Amino acid sequence: MESLIEKYLHVRAPGRINLLGEHLDYNHGVVLPAAIDKCFDLEFKPLPSATFRILALDIEEQLEFQLSELNSLQTEGWKNYVKGVFILLGIEQCAPNLKNGLQISISSSIPIGAGLSSSAALCCGLAFGLNAYFELGKSKMELALIAQQTEHQFAGVQCGLMDQVASLFGKPNQLMAFDCLSQEVQHFSLPLKGAQLFLVDSRVKHNLAESAYNKRRQQLEAAFEIAQQLFPDLNNWRALSSEMRGQLRSIIDSETAARLTYVLDEMQRVSEVQELCHHLDLDIHNDHTEQVLKNLGSLLSQTHVGLKDLYEVSCEELDFLQTKITSLPYVYGARMMGGGFGGCLLVLAAQEFEPTKDLAATFEHYFEKFDIHSIFYPIQIANGVHLITHD
């Protein structure tokens, strides 16, 4: 371990958007996320004692411990994630005789509560940095699974793997088609010729977000068990035929049937988006770009309707913003993004749309109705978790 004494690492771990495929990551689907240029920065530097000190610079909080204290630490909030990553990576076992400690300073440009997966970015950045610092040799997919299990075991959120894969595997200007069954990642271009993506933050996060997320997951898992009893050879929702779907709907409750309808419809929309992006990439003469962008926008808006009416994870504030913004000139479509009950809208608009000016009236109406100041964030599709080199 002596070789570790002089190590200094700077890790950048991005948040993510998800163009389409919301809630498909735990429903056997393909999702279309991308890393973005809102991120955590984590700086690792050695300490002379065997102490581990984690500094959350933005909120002026810290967590300090020795490895022998790790399992008995009483933690909450962001500290749960730190504890979880250390335990699940097995730092205590891999460095039992460590004479030097470590200070990790953490800062973030990811808006908390906006649905950009700040917790996944934190876990992935921390796991990636510790893996590099202690030369553990874990693959990116192994780190993604550790970050996911941190959410499950230490935060009580039974999330899928999309957020972690998006943060770790992102590439500039590319979406990922992540197959949540095979865990295969395929990158493809999102050629936004004459268009832009940006986020509109509702600035709300309702308390039932996590409990409702877990309930939706339980509903679909229970429905799949029933489906497998009906159709023993059924391996995943993608293999459900129209005939099988009809039989299943007749014996599950109406609420669960609505959830399933959203999932199956969203799977179809994901396939359509992949095809549209392929056409955009091939359309070097821009002959059909405008229509393709309109079609993409329409699919985004259809997803919002499905999340609102069938999956029931939207909220009044998001619905108000989505309705107002999609009625504006040069906006192709918009949808809520993330687990639900607050957070951001993802908006696809033409380059001619000027958010600062063109959203002003909508934001004023939003404030009048909800007494909340909304805000927009320009975004770029960025690199996944990586080391920053300093001169």
d(CA 312, CA 318): 12
Q: Please, are residues 137 and 7 in contact by the beta-carbon 8 Å criterion?
A: no
CA torsion 111-114-115-117 (nearest 10°) is: 10
Whether 265 is a known active-site residue: answer no
User: Which one is catalytic: 25, 41, 58, 163?
Assistant: 163
Identify which of 176, 200, 217 has the alpha carbon closest to the alpha carbon of residue 16: 176
Let me know: does 115 contact 342? Beta carbons within 8 Å.
yes
Question: How many CB atoms are located within 10 Å of the residue 58 CB?
Answer: 12
C-alpha 78/C-alpha 108 separation (Å) is 12
Query: Which stretches of the chain are assigned E, i.e. beta strand?
Result: 9-18, 30-31, 33-47, 51-56, 61-66, 101-108, 174-179, 185-189, 195-205, 331-336, 342-350, 375-378, 386-387
Q: Rounded to whole angstroms, how far apart are CA atoms 122 and 40? A: 6
**Residue 157's closest CA among 113, 196, 101, 211?**
211
Question: Active-site residues: which are they?
Answer: 163
